[in-house]
Amino acid sequence: MSVHVQNSRMTTAKLRQMKANGEKIAMLTSYDFTLASLVDEAGIDILLVGDSASNVVCGNNYTLPITVEEMIFLTKGVVRAAQHALVVCDMPFGSYQVSEEEAVRNAIKILKESGCDAVKLEGGEEILPAIRHMIQAGIPVMGHLGLTPQSVNQFGGYGLRAKEEAEAEKLLHDAKLLDEAGCFSIVLEKIPAALAERVTKAVSCPVIGIGAGNKCDGQVLVLHDMLGLNQGFKPKFLRHFAQLAGTVKDAVNDYIDAVKDSSFPSDEESY
List 12, 30, 52, 200, residue binding ligand KIV (CB under 6 A): 52
- Exposed, middle or buried, 196 (CB in 10 Å: 0-12/13-18/19+)? buried
Active site residue 122: no
In what helix (H) or strand (E) does residue 202 lie, and over which residues does it extend? helix 193-202
Q: Per-residue contact track with ligand KIV, 79 to 98, x per CB under 6 A? A: -----------x--------
Identify which of residues 59 and 268 has a Cβ nearer to ligand KIV in the complex: 59
Closest-by-Cβ residue to ligand KIV is 50
Stretch binding ligand KIV (CB under 6 A), from 1-9, 39-47, 48-56, 127-135: 48-56
Exposure b/e, 153-166, CB count within 10 A at least 16 = b? eeeeeeeebbeeee
Please identify which of the residues 189, 197, 268, 269 carries the catalytic annotation: 189
Residue 46 in contact with ligand KIV, rule: CB under 6 A: no
Identify which of residues 90 and 217 has a Cβ nearer to ligand KIV in the complex: 90
List 127, 188, 210, 227, residue binding ligand KIV (CB under 6 A): 210
3-state secondary structure of 221: strand
Identify which of residues 52 and 95 has a Cβ nearer to ligand KIV in the complex: 52
List 127, 134, 222, 226, residue binding ligand KIV (CB under 6 A): 222
- C-alpha to C-alpha distance for 46 and 27, rounded to whole angstroms: 5
Identify which of residues 187 and 203 has a Cβ nearer to ligand KIV in the complex: 187
> Is 209 within 8 Å of 237 (Cβ atoms)?
no
User: What is the chain's length?
Assistant: 271
Residue 50 in contact with ligand KIV, rule: CB under 6 A: yes
Q: Residue 95 has what DSSP assignment?
A: S
The one-letter amino acid code at 175 reads A
Handedness of CA 57, 58, 64, 66 (dihedral sign): negative
Instruction: Name the residues annotated as catalytic.
Output: 189
Binding stretches for ligand KIV (CB under 6 A): 29, 50-52, 90, 187, 189, 210, 220, 222
